[in-house]
Amino acid sequence: MAATPADVPLRTLLEAGIEVALGADDPLLFGQRLTAQYRLVRQAHGLSDNELAELARMSVRGSVAPAEVRTRLLAGIDAWLRDSDAVQPDTEPGSAAALAPASGDRGAPGGQELVDQ
Residue 63 has pLDDT above 70, yes or no: yes
Alpha helices, DSSP H, located in 10-90: 10-15, 27-30, 34-45, 49-61, 67-82
1: Cβ–Cβ under 8 A, 6 or more apart, which residues? none
pLDDT of residue 105: 53
**Does an H or E element contain 115, and which?**
helix 111-116
Please tell me the distance from the alpha carbon of residue 95 to that of residue 105, in angstroms, as a whole number.
13
pLDDT of residue 84: 76
Is residue 89 exposed (0-12), middle (13-18) or buried (19+ Cβ within 10 Å)? Answer: exposed
pLDDT of residue 111: 57
Most confident option among 2-6, 7-11, 21-25 = 7-11
Is residue 50 exposed (0-12), middle (13-18) or buried (19+ Cβ within 10 Å)? Answer: exposed
Residue 52 has pLDDT above 70, yes or no: yes
Average pLDDT for 54-72: 94
Please tell me the distance from the alpha carbon of residue 86 to that of residue 47, in angstroms, as a whole number.
20
List the chain domain ranges.
8-14+30-85+96-116
pLDDT of residue 23: 81
Higher pLDDT, 98 or 10: 10
Residue 58 has pLDDT above 60, yes or no: yes
